Amino acid sequence: MKTLDTLKPGENAVITGINGQNTSLRRRLLDMGLTLNTKVSLVREAPFGDPIELEVRGYSLTIRKSDAQLIEVK
């Protein structure tokens, strides 16, 4: 299982699932457009690796690496 936090800058992936028992966090990720079968691209990481900037549905999105660990990709 590969997760979003393992991507390198410039890599693309497709979301295959969102894990986590915290339903409010899951709902927030879905509301930001991180839904199943959505193509994402890692644009860059902050100097210390957290947060990361993604390109999702034509806009830039910055999320914590701990949140990105919950998102399965292929």
Domains and CATH numbers, the chain: 2-73 (2.30.30.90)
Tell whether the torsion through CA atoms of 41, 44, 45 and 51 is positive or negative.
negative
pTM for the model: 0.87
- The SS3 call for residue 62 is strand
Mean pLDDT value across the chain: 92
**Position 15 confidence tier, pLDDT thresholds 50, 70, 90:** very high
27 backbone dihedrals φ, ψ, rounded to 5°: -65, -40
62 backbone dihedrals φ, ψ, rounded to 5°: -115, 125
Instruction: Using a pLDDT cut of 70, give the percent of the chain over it.
Output: 100
Is pLDDT of 25 > 90? no
Residues in the chain: 74
